[in-house]
Structure 1
């Protein structure tokens, strides 16, 4: 006999953590922040990995309409050294990269012009005859072509726009002059449609950086992008053009940017910070759409208890502290949408296979081992570019066999470990602990007297710093995969 929630569990089990694979139309949760992006009020989206940046970028890209045009740019697999070469010598760091970013944005706007039926036909033909035809989305496939002399402003409309008249002579400009010329052309010919140039996956060159010991070229390049977007927003709004470069960046990278204009960026920024309560709206939306794609959103309580029983889960040292199933899951997460999606996906898959009519507390605790393994891999993926030996470091915690320990215990174990096959043999133990704290792999244990205690994790308090003199605690979501429970 098929139980009543069978189809819902089957659907939830198919949820995707990767935003590009998700059914955006069905599951995307449109918050107030999304409306601000669509209205052009905000242009920067800052958040940690897994907080929903790529889901928003994917939504902006896929959203279609007669007056909404978007192109998504990724620096994935891009030869950064090539981009570093295009400095504008008229400016000092980091402003020297503003012009190259403007040029990239303007060439992408040319592609969007070709999709707009309201733009002058002759201009679109001129654009199509000039720009590379197969390099719409990946910067690395187009920048070399568009930077070359062969990418010339040879047609009448362009030459008229820059005051050269309608002659048959080719006009060869360097890329800095072309950026200025394209700006004038776009100001003249753009209509009132909304144009979005979406920058995602900007952390590809971050593997060469460190959040403790920074190298400047990458940060100067990213700073130049923010300043270019701010400048473009200001220039085109004066002519009532809705041009919106939207930048998605990890918060740990953003925190490293130091620029005298950074305080002004707050007017254009959205910080993706979730709380247990704001997360409930997103979860209620997703469960509601899993139950009925066309149905109205249920309240969180109705959505949650439609698929999960109301029993509580005991936790703590002696399993004597009861918490709700939602609070139980929350303790295993970093308050990121992907963490909740993964946990519910795992539980739903088990319920569907067992033909259960409801997900019960004992099932949720049983599946926590599977979740912990997935959670561990997520953190490895996030950290390994900065700490390539992260898997070996996790193994050290497993050997120590303590969820709570003194930093000196880790330091002693680390210093005794043979590092012949380690990629970074000279990292100090203190340096590693600071990195682990910054990524909330560990937190600080703060006793408050009696049985009272507080554990400080950076994902809950972004201003927190590791206190090396206090005990550290492994994040609860990792403990089972490290055999610490």
Structure 2
């Protein structure tokens, strides 16, 4: 290292939790799953908040390559009722939304093809002439234009040289018929460059729905998107081209979708679950980049100890056990990149302010309260649309005064809170299921085995066993 250590700590303390604000060129970790997306081998990215979905979408969108073209379609603040109106009555539920999603993909493909000099010049000129919207405009605004009767898409020009029916300018095609024609035009005219249409922030109309209840229309819409992408990928593979729509979706929504074809979707899915080796590789990559290194391969142990002391932290009731600094941080996380970034950010800030050469064990424990407050806030943001009383429920757990408790302990305290009007949902077991689903609590079995859903997505709450609060919440809930 050529600079003094404090400048590195200053750099780390400025890391961003919002992937859209991060310096992706410098910090993005190119995991094997991301490489499979870039090769077009995967099309669905499924993961919990904070696991890296937006970082991947941002990286793909900003990737610089002469044959790489990408556009991101966010549905944040999108009026979903507008989409629900575009069901294709030729199909029954849940397939009636496949066509509108394909239409959205194909129109956006036209925008990308305009920027590619390798595409037929006549087609590019025709697209420039007939496409009325700014490609960066909000999707809701563009959709209104694309599906209007006044949208003269110029099929006779777009399909020049192709043997297509009903492409005269005088023929009034509806958006369903336009989808069919666009599919033929695009797959005849497209080159072998890589095209990415990224669907992110799809949970806007889901946020008021319970994870244990169903909003059928919303789930049908999302299911239709998966089927549309599957169909487009199939055509692309058959034609030998690289059209790559990619869906980024929360795992709790994905788990709710019930479709006879869902098992097949696994062939195209990336499940964002981080194991120890992958997480350490990501952290080593970020620490090395903070220090200015550009090596493609870095090793965790060597890089980690450039910043963190080789010390242990005593844990357990009698403080008789010792664990490493890294393992201490891990016990406080939900195994999400965002959690590690936050903890390292806090430690680096303290080290920079105090002019430390290394982050010591004492530095970590001093950041416990701040980190715990962060994690509590993250979970409130994630859960509040499902449990509006989540802040009061956290306060209730705090009043219990212990990290380990029984279902009866919680139910008794919850009943009193319900009677006093502090919480609205009258079913404490429903609340416990929600808390378990988001890993606020786990099960503590008699053999001292602890199970949280973030460690095992297949796990379900066992109401006959003791409950334990996640370690990262102890300080913010005043559980000692």
In the other structure, the counterpart of 1:470 is 465
| Superposed CA offset, 1:380-426 (max 9, x none) | 1111111111111101111111111112111111111257776x723
Q: Are the counterparts in 2 of residues 73 and 137 from structure 1 also a CA contact under 8 Å?
A: no
Residue 444 (structure 2) pairs with residue 445 (structure 1): yes
* C-alpha spacing 1:432/1:147, structure 2 compared with 1 (3 Å): same
In the other structure, the counterpart of 2:125 is 125
Residue 457 (structure 2) pairs with residue 457 (structure 1): no
* C-alpha spacing 1:277/1:426, structure 2 compared with 1 (3 Å): same
**Distance between the aligned counterparts of 2:167 and 2:295, measured in 1?**
58
Residue 475 (structure 2) pairs with residue 480 (structure 1): yes
* C-alpha spacing 1:3/1:309, structure 2 compared with 1 (3 Å): farther
Which secondary structure state, in structure 2, belongs to the residue aligned with residue 205 of structure 1? coil
Q: Are the counterparts in 2 of residues 153 and 159 from structure 1 also a CA contact under 8 Å?
A: no
Which secondary structure state, in structure 1, belongs to the residue aligned with residue 333 of structure 2? coil
**Distance between the aligned counterparts of 1:20 and 1:28, measured in 2?**
11
**Distance between the aligned counterparts of 1:98 and 1:211, measured in 2?**
24
Shift of residue 291, structure 1, vs aligned partner? 0.9
* C-alpha spacing 1:293/1:421, structure 2 compared with 1 (3 Å): farther
In the other structure, the counterpart of 1:315 is 315
Q: Using the TM superposition, name which of 55-64 and 272-281 deviates more.
A: 272-281
| Superposed CA offset, 1:79-124 (max 9, x none) | 1111011101111111111001000101110110111112233322
Q: Using the TM superposition, name which of 383-392 and 347-356 deviates more.
A: 383-392
Q: Using the TM superposition, name which of 230-239 and 134-143 deviates more.
A: 134-143
Number of residue pairs the alignment of both structures matches:
478
Q: Using the TM superposition, name which of 392-401 and 435-444 deviates more.
A: 392-401
Q: TM-score, normalised by structure 2?
A: 0.96
| Superposed CA offset, 1:157-201 (max 9, x none) | 23544635886x433211100111111110121111100011111
1:398-409 paired onto structure 2 within 5 Å: 398-409=398-409
**Distance between the aligned counterparts of 1:477 and 1:107, measured in 2?**
46
In the other structure, the counterpart of 1:163 is 164
Q: Are the counterparts in 2 of residues 69 and 194 from structure 1 also a CA contact under 8 Å?
A: yes
1:99-110 paired onto structure 2 within 5 Å: 99-110=99-110
Q: Using the TM superposition, name which of 412-421 and 285-294 deviates more.
A: 412-421
* C-alpha spacing 1:318/1:132, structure 2 compared with 1 (3 Å): farther
* C-alpha spacing 1:3/1:268, structure 2 compared with 1 (3 Å): closer
Residue 264 (structure 2) pairs with residue 264 (structure 1): yes
* C-alpha spacing 1:222/1:196, structure 2 compared with 1 (3 Å): same
| Superposed CA offset, 1:344-385 (max 9, x none) | 000001100111111000110111111111111111111111
Q: Using the TM superposition, name which of 191-200 and 155-164 deviates more.
A: 155-164
5+ residue gaps, structure 1: none
Residue 431 (structure 2) pairs with residue 436 (structure 1): no
* C-alpha spacing 1:166/1:270, structure 2 compared with 1 (3 Å): closer
**Distance between the aligned counterparts of 1:229 and 1:86, measured in 2?**
17
Which secondary structure state, in structure 2, belongs to the residue aligned with residue 199 of structure 1? strand
**Distance between the aligned counterparts of 1:401 and 1:460, measured in 2?**
25
Shift of residue 132, structure 1, vs aligned partner? 3.1
Q: Are the counterparts in 1 of residues 133 and 142 from structure 2 also a CA contact under 8 Å?
A: no
**Distance between the aligned counterparts of 1:159 and 1:280, measured in 2?**
51
1:368-447 paired onto structure 2 within 5 Å: 368-417=368-417, 425-447=424-446
Q: Are the counterparts in 2 of residues 202 and 249 from structure 1 also a CA contact under 8 Å?
A: yes
| Superposed CA offset, 1:235-265 (max 9, x none) | 1222222100111111111111111111111
| Superposed CA offset, 1:1-42 (max 9, x none) | x99311110110011111101110001100111111111111
* C-alpha spacing 1:427/1:68, structure 2 compared with 1 (3 Å): farther
Q: TM-score, normalised by structure 1?
A: 0.95
1:67-86 paired onto structure 2 within 5 Å: 67-86=67-86
Q: Are the counterparts in 1 of residues 51 and 272 from structure 2 also a CA contact under 8 Å?
A: yes
Shift of residue 154, structure 1, vs aligned partner? 2.8
Shift of residue 135, structure 1, vs aligned partner? 4.1
**Distance between the aligned counterparts of 1:141 and 1:135, measured in 2?**
11
Q: Are the counterparts in 2 of residues 444 and 467 from structure 1 also a CA contact under 8 Å?
A: yes
Q: Are the counterparts in 2 of residues 26 and 293 from structure 1 also a CA contact under 8 Å?
A: no
* C-alpha spacing 1:159/1:186, structure 2 compared with 1 (3 Å): closer
Which secondary structure state, in structure 2, belongs to the residue aligned with residue 244 of structure 1? strand
In the other structure, the counterpart of 1:244 is 244
